[in-house]
Amino acid sequence: MSFEISNCQIHSHYGDFEFFCFNYGECENDNVLVLKSSKEVVIPYLRVQSACFTSEIFRSKDCDCHEQLEKSLAIISEHGGMLIYLLQDGRGAGIFDKIKGMKLSQLQGINTAEAYDKLGIERDPRSYERVTEVLEYFRITSVKLLTNNPRKIDGLKSKKITVERIPLEIEPTEDSKSYLKSKKDELGHMFSKYL
């Protein structure tokens, strides 16, 4: 592992956390951000969230990323655990390619997974190696993972992390329903409650 760490306290709308930055290089996207609850628990709740600038900053209604982030922070604040935030928008493809995919979706009436295929972009190129390095740093070997994404579960299990999946389903809106359905149909996300 090759990273530097800076940390401070942060007082958020969801509670107080210790805020860590794991720095892997000079590029801003090489940072991994961590919000850690002060509650000591045997098996912590964990949310691994990738950046979604369109919803988290600009409050786009086309996905559920902002709501998943809010719900996760509330759960972690109440029950203990951490949020690991990866600065990799567009499922790791980057914001530039994500916007190209969104535009193609709008023009051709296809979902974002199909748009990525047409553009020659890997549907989900994310790696969870840095997530497992953060967990190793905190000596965490078992987690309650807040996710609907089987790739996140597999990514952690492949590094010998024991994972109990906790569903993180957000009720779809008219704007987000088709996107969430494509995540289920095209990417295998586990939705049982709403879709």
Element (H, E) at 14: none
Distances, alpha carbon 87 to alpha carbons 122, 124, 153, 174, 181, in Å: 17, 14, 19, 28, 24
124 is annotated as an active-site residue: yes
Instruction: Give the Cα-Cα-Cα angle 21, 24, 26 (nearest 5 degrees).
Output: 100
Q: Are 57 and 95 in contact (CB under 8 A)?
A: no
Active-site pick, 47, 91, 126, 130:
126
Q: Are 189 and 148 in contact (CB under 8 A)?
A: yes
Active-site pick, 89, 97, 124, 130:
124
Element (H, E) at 5: strand 4-12
123 is annotated as an active-site residue: no
Residues sharing a CB contact under 8 Å with residue 83, sequence separation 6 or more, in sequence order: 34, 35, 46, 47, 48, 49, 69, 72, 73, 76
DSSP 16: E
Residue with tokens 């993972």: 145
Query: Catalytic amino acids?
Result: 124, 126
